[in-house]
A and B are shown apart, each in its own frame.
Chain A
Amino acid sequence: MDRGWWWKFGLIVAVTLGTIWFLVPTYYSLVVLDRAERNNIAVLEQRLPRWAPPAKYRLNLGLDLQGGIHMVMRVDTKTALQKRTERRGQQIATYVNDKKLGEVTADTDPERLQLTLTAKDPATMDAIQKEVLATFTDFSLESRNGATLVLKPDEGQVNRFRDEAVDQAMLVIRRRIDKWGVAEVDVRKLGTDSIQISLPGRSNPEQAKELVGTTAQLEFRMVDDTNPQVFAQMFQQNPPPPESKITLVEDEGFPQLSSPNREALLAYAKDKTPEGRDVVTECVANPVKKNDCIAYRSYLLDKNVPLTGESLSGADASVSQMNEPEVNIAFDPAGAREFEKLTEAAVGRRMAIVLDDNVHTAPRINEKIGGGRARITMGRAGARSFEEWLGEAQTLALVLKAGALPAPVTVGEIRQVGATLGDELIKKGSLAALVGLALVVVFMAIYYRKSGLIADVALILNGLLILAGLAFFNATLTLPGIAGFVLTLGIAVDANVLINERIREELSHGKSARAAVDQGYDRAFWTIFDAHVTTLIAGFILFFTGTGPVRGFATTLIVGLLASLFTSIVVTRVITTYFVHGRNAQSVSV
């Protein structure tokens, strides 16, 4: 046995042990834990032995196998754009009238997204045209006909608006699902105007549709700071039950209740809230995982809603001259009057910006704000970096716009699988895979005898490697994925058949056992390699163009082919070499 062989043998042993070790979280989540806890990563983390890999490296079951809802929502960007163009038209008309350039009315063509300005006095049109085009640079001139001016929004602007509309819708959907308390949700952008949502364990598609389909509600509400100690008193007089995990925390001098469980927090505070006030929570974002709340904090808000998103005409994030990130907000004329009144009465108090019952921020009002333009300064205090503050400002601007200029979403696709059907499919699917595997294993052992058994060892290792590989990539096992698993095993066997047939052929040419094995492996190598690569190409294309279950199939296929290359070429060869070279055998059992 030469040195190279021992190295390879060591590698195989290491890979095998690593594979088994890596499957520990998967084993715990699927076999040891109750079904209800299957997706609860925190519980899994607790139950796992200390030596096991982190809980996040476990094989997820697809929605088709565990039950749940998969949805694709299409953001109605057209309606959003139409609304924006209308608002912009209104701004232009106000601007023209304010500047005393003349008097115009603005009208929007919803089909073509064009803005038509009509002047009362045609004589003023030249001046209006010049001034408007110079000021509102996001519009260009389409045509001019006497007293009417047709403007169209700039192409780049339209695209930016469209992206923004999808981002807003995503933000709203994420926040709502968060509130629903579904573990392991997945919300991601699909194409240019769609959002894909996965809700494992949920079973009511109509409810889900309602949840993510309704338009966002933005409210400006005053924080009740008359008694800043209200939560502290509540906490001391009526200690919350320990299972609610409610703690008392302090934020900028204001005591707040905090709990990872939003429902428990609200239930606790419900009957202790003073008259005319509401407890509304804020999401404390997970610094590591984006769009995930690690805790919820309480705010005491006035029940009365003085201002809603409808009064808002725009919001943008920028950086001030002091190099501080800030958000500029603008109100329409009616909103501006209301806002002035509100700020005048509440200097020194905090005003909460609430989107869909979730407090986003509660800036302090420093002075009376007139003119319909306000600025929220993010500051640079605390442990956060400039980039983090800027990101915060951008999110807030997005929140404000989501409430002010909502983009309706409609259902593109919903797929719901009941939990019992999911369980049945897992049973049938794994039974099918096992039967296929068993048939192949028995056949190989009979047909190729000892070499067949070696191939079987490789095959089983291959199966484990696929599962571990999927767990490593955090991939999801779907029903078509199980089919992919079976197919990959078939391809892996093909490689062993190729090698063994070659060895037989070489033996029939009168070669010695050693030479036949070496030649067999060498000659079959490129054939196996080419065959795997071509299937891999199909797998990758499937992965990049497919969605949902098809993607699950592609992932399994890719991981399986890579595993198969390793087991059929390296593993079987090392074992065969041991029997043929190491034992100095004169014959090879094939």
Chain B
Amino acid sequence: MQILKHKTNIDFIGKRKPALFISTLINLAIIVGIAAVGFNFGVDFAGGTVVELKYNTPTTAEQVREKAQAGGLHDVSVQGVGAAEENSFLLRMGGVTQLTEENAERAKTAIQGLGETRNVYADMANGIVNFRSTQPMSAEAVKKAVEGAGIGVQEVRDLGANQGGTGYDYQVVASGMADKVFAALGAGLEKPNFEQRRVDYVGPQVGKQLRNRGIMALLYSMVAILIYVAFRFDFKFGPGALLAMVHDVIMVAGYYLVSRREFNLTSIAALLTIVGYSVNDTIVIYDRIREDMVKYKGKPLPEIINIAVNDTLGRTILTSGVTALSLIGLLIFGVGEIFDFAMAMLVGILVGTYSSVYIASPLVIWLDERAHAREAHHGSKQEPKAA
């Protein structure tokens, strides 16, 4: 069996200018979109709490939302997971702990009501209220007072007397958001009619760290691959491979931008895999170009590239097709992140194939032309190179 019965002779290189133009346009649009609209950052990067629940009775997202709002949770987004009969929902909220600006004020008032206190300040990021009291206090009493103000308390820490014994330091640690969710949704029921399937908390600082590390990983791998390509091939091949990689990464980022799918750690993994796959594809064609440059000495480079791309076209289509085939299972049965991962990979495979033909290869010509032009410029003083 064969996909391409006859040897093709498509003039890819001749169409490189419109292709480059369109690609650049789309890429710029995506970059502008990212800057203007931004990704739908998941809890990994944005910080916050995500809770997945499965009800054992038929329930709608609307009912869950109403119940949450009745329990005082106003900024919760509720989204169904999987088929409707699964009764599974994803609840998303901004905070990690129950300590909000408003709550912190109430906690302060409650603490100040206990006795003479100084330095009452809330550490919002960690969900902690710090204070110093002139008298030793019982942790139980502090806990009761703060809980009385409507804030779940996980622990009251007795940090002991400060130096000189002029005061006693305490920390009130607020409970997590998930606790409040379960309390709100289970309110009025003897036993909750749902099962908690997943809880993710990511603190804002950790979120920022995770995001930075993800971006650094992308940059590092691109640079490392660029070095490898420049070393294994010729310098003029390097930039083409790099640009094709950047192109593919932006295109896949575009998928996340347009689909509004959650951008999280798995998305970074998808982008990185695309980097690997993209350069994989590019290298196969580069290899052939290099081989043909030896085989057809004297022919102009654009023609050689056209031959190389046409010769490898069958395998290019096949490989992309087979890799896409292996993703079909994930696309059908994959849930949540895995579906997104497979979808992003599919987009990546398609644009990766396109970019190795229309972006990576033309750039080699361009760099070659520039090198020749420079040579011609300095050429008058130098010995002409033997052809």
Contacts and interface: CB of A to CB of B under 8 A. Distances in A.
B329 A439 contact: yes
Interface string B214-252: 101100110011001100100000000000000000000
> Which has the most chain B C-beta neighbours within 10 Å: A72, A79, A505, A550?
A550
Contact of B272 (A310, A411, A523, A541): A541
Contacts of B341: 480, 483
Contact of A433 (B206, B228, B329): B329
Nearest to A546: B217
Interface stretch (B22-30, B69-77, B197-205): B197-205
A491 B320 CA distance: 10
Contacts of B198: 415-418, 421
A586 B135 CA distance: 98
Nearest to B268: A550
Nearest to A448: B1
B9 interface: no
A431 B332 CA distance: 10
Interface stretch (A39-47, A49-57, A206-214, A385-393): A206-214
B21 interface: no
Interface stretch (A138-146, A264-272, A526-534, A568-576): A526-534
Nearest to B49: A414
Given A90-B163, A412-B205, A546-B269, A436 B328 contact: yes
A423 B314 CA distance: 41
A578 B299 CA distance: 40
A310 B160 contact: yes
B96 interface: yes
A212 to B, nearest CB: 11
A106 B220 contact: no
B328 to A, nearest CB: 6
Given A213-B154, A436-B326, A530-B232, A483 B206 contact: no
Contact of A443 (B176, B322, B333, B335): B322
Contacts of A484: 273
Given A486-B326, A486-B330, A428 B283 contact: no
A417 B197 contact: yes
A420 B213 contact: no
Contacts of B229: 534
> Which has the most chain A C-beta neighbours within 10 Å: B179, B203, B327, B330?
B330
B333 A447 contact: no
Contact of A416 (B179, B199, B319, B334): B199
B126 A74 contact: yes
A83 interface: yes
A435 B279 contact: no
B217 A545 contact: yes
Nearest to A530: B283
Contacts of A489: 326
Interface in A311-369: none
Contacts of B325: 436, 439-440, 443, 490
B193 interface: no
Contact of B319 (A497, A526, A554): A497
A408 B178 contact: no
Interface string A87-106: 10110010000000000011
A533 B341 CA distance: 22
A439 B321 CA distance: 11
Contact of B224 (A90, A106, A446, A537): A537
A431 B265 contact: no
A428 B334 CA distance: 7
A208 to B, nearest CB: 10
> Which has the most chain A C-beta neighbours within 10 Å: B175, B216, B283?
B283
Interface string A48-86: 000000000000000000000000101010010001001
> Which has the most chain A C-beta neighbours within 10 Å: B96, B198, B273, B279?
B273
A535 interface: yes
Given A89-B163, A414-B199, A538-B275, A435 B126 contact: no
A553 interface: yes
B322 to A, nearest CB: 5
Contacts of B195: 418, 420
A505 B126 contact: no
A226 B269 CA distance: 63
Contacts of A523: 291
Contacts of B265: 546-550
Interface string B277-297: 101100110011001000000
Interface in B147-181: 154-155, 157-160, 162-164, 171, 173, 175-176, 178-179
A534 B20 CA distance: 25
> Which has the most chain A C-beta neighbours within 10 Å: B160, B176, B342?
B160
Contact of B203 (A87, A411, A449): A411
Contact of B178 (A206, A310, A435, A491): A206
A493 B221 contact: no
B221 A538 contact: yes
A589 to B, nearest CB: 11
Q: What size tier do the contact residues of chain B reach?
A: 35 or more
B287 A526 contact: yes
Interface in A415-453: 415-418, 420-421, 425, 428-429, 431-437, 439-440, 443-444, 446-449
Contacts of B158: 215
Given A411-B201, A416-B200, A538-B273, A436 B322 contact: no
A482 B326 CA distance: 12
A412 B127 CA distance: 11
A213 B155 contact: yes
Interface string B105-118: 00000000000000
Nearest to B203: A412
Interface string B36-49: 00000000000000
Nearest to A410: B126
A338 to B, nearest CB: 15
Contact of B206 (A79, A413, A490, A538): A413
A431 B330 CA distance: 8
Given A432-B333, A491-B280, A74 B205 contact: yes
A191 B312 CA distance: 46
Contacts of B312: 501
Given A417-B197, A417-B198, A480-B337, A436 B163 contact: no
A535 B277 CA distance: 7
Contacts of B154: 206, 209-210, 213
Contact of B201 (A413, A436, A448): A413
A314 B337 CA distance: 49
Interface in A469-503: 479-480, 482-484, 486-487, 489-491, 493-494, 497-498, 501
A6 B185 CA distance: 68
Interface in B1-26: 1-2
Interface in B301-347: 311-312, 314-315, 318-319, 322-323, 325-330, 332-335, 337-338, 341-342, 345
B200 A415 contact: yes
B128 interface: yes
B196 interface: yes
A411 B217 contact: no
B79 interface: no
Contacts of A240: none
A428 B284 contact: no
The 6 tightest CB contacts between A and B, nearest first, are A435-B329, A535-B276, A490-B323, A538-B276, A436-B329, A545-B217
25 contacts: A191-B209, A406-B159, A411-B126, A412-B202, A412-B206, A421-B198, A429-B333, A432-B329, A433-B330, A434-B329, A480-B269, A491-B277, A527-B283, A532-B280, A534-B280, A537-B221, A538-B275, A542-B269, A545-B213, A545-B217, A545-B220, A546-B213, A549-B269, A550-B269, A557-B273
Given A447-B318, A501-B312, A501-B318, 19 more contacts: A74-B126, A106-B164, A108-B163, A209-B176, A214-B157, A310-B160, A408-B157, A411-B126, A414-B200, A417-B197, A421-B52, A432-B329, A435-B329, A486-B330, A487-B327, A501-B315, A547-B210, A549-B269, A550-B266
